[in-house]
Structure 1
Amino acid sequence: MEFFTIMLEKSSNRQLLPDNFVKMLDDHRPQNTKLRQVGNGLHKLWDVEVVFDTDESMYLDRGWKQFVRAYDLRHGYFLVFRYDGNATFAVKVFDTTMCPRRYQDDDDASMLCLFFLSIRLCLTPI
């Protein structure tokens, strides 16, 4: 399941999820979830609490602020959420230029993979 949202000023404290997404969950509503920024090759997972208010609206709450700060999510950024069904969301971030946002982690992960691959190749007997 996928959906998108646009960061608004009030989104930095907690993120409202679309009503139609909540309906698709049926009775399988998670109490907690994990978030992963799509371009992050290191696959860091962020623990985020899920809360429901009295009108059954679903929010990403405790832990969301840390995710917002870590990826410098700003007003006007476009976020695409992909839910895997196991209480994990992959989040793809587009900035105000409408292009995918690149993070240092993205490059670090690629360089780290190349580093370990080169070590493995050096240690492999001929």
Structure 2
Amino acid sequence: MVEKECASCKEWQEHYYWEHMDVSKIRFFKFMTGDFAKGIRLPEKFTRKLDGQITEAFDLKTASGEAWRIGIDKNGDELFLMSGWKDFVKAHELQENDLLIFTCSGNASFEVLIFEASGYEKVSSRFANIITHNMQKNSDNKAHRGEHEKNHTLSDSEDTTTTPFQLVGSPQNTSTLQESSGKEPSRIVTSLR
């Protein structure tokens, strides 16, 4: 049978937690519900304990290593993550009932773990900056390649109507292949990506 703890012990634990414990062990979580994309309210107890120590923004570091500076709005005794939050939500594809765990990592800095409603960590949150970087890189490469394709054509004959995507075995070269082999050529379907 578990003994009920006394009020003095509970008070001492609270004091120790907020005043003496390693800051990296202080954490809270938030479910993404309602109109969370506009901003989220920080837990009341957390806000009370940090009263007077709050800066204008928090730095949130995700599992991908990205750091986000999110502005804080104060409304009475409540604190809200607002400025920059919408971009954070979009970049991490946050959805209804996702769970975020905030772990204090210093003065106004938090590491954030993102979980789906299923309970599993949101895999995309670990690769957000890599995906964004690669998408930009691929976009730049496609733009460059598109410019390259406008200026250069590939051809194995005098046929200037053949596009760079049509290779040997395409309908434009069928008659030449049929004459030499007597067989219908197989078609090769490829595209440059």
The reply to whether TM is greater than 0.5 is: yes
- Which of the pair has more CA radius of gyration? 2
Query: Which ranges of structure 2 fall in alignment gaps of 5 or more residues?
Result: 1-25, 132-193
2:119 counterpart (69, 88, 98): 98
Q: Distance in 2 between matches of 1:8 and 1:27?
A: 28
Matched AA of 1:48? I
**SS at 1:93's partner residue?**
strand
More helix, by proportion: 2
Residue 55 (structure 2) pairs with residue 30 (structure 1): yes
1:106 Cα deviation after fit: 6.9
**SS at 1:79's partner residue?**
strand
Aligned to 1:19: 44
> After the TM superposition, which residues 83-94 of structure 1 pair with which residues of structure 2 at under 5 Å, given as runs?
83-94=104-115
Residue 77 (structure 2) pairs with residue 52 (structure 1): no
Identity %: 25
Matched AA of 2:72? V
Q: 1:15 to 1:105 in 2, by over 3 A?
A: same
More strand, by proportion: 1
Aligned to 1:71: 92
Query: Which ranges of structure 1 fall in alignment gaps of 5 or more residues?
Result: 110-126
Q: Distance in 1 between matches of 2:97 and 2:38?
A: 15
1:108 Cα deviation after fit: 4.6
Matched AA of 1:69? K
TM value normalised by structure 1: 0.76
Matched AA of 1:18? P
Contact 2:30 2:100 in 1 (8 A): yes
Q: Distance in 2 between matches of 1:30 and 1:85?
A: 12
Map Cα deviations across residues 60-116 of structure 1 (whole Å, 9 max, x no partner). Answer: 01100100000001000011111223211111111011011112617959xxxxxxx
Q: Distance in 2 between matches of 1:15 and 1:106?
A: 21
Contact 2:41 2:78 in 1 (8 A): yes
Map Cα deviations across residues 8-27 of structure 1 (whole Å, 9 max, x no partner). Answer: 13111011100000112132
TM value normalised by structure 2: 0.51
Query: What is the aligned-residue RMSD (CA, Å)?
Result: 1.9
1:52 Cα deviation after fit: 0.5
**SS at 1:68's partner residue?**
helix
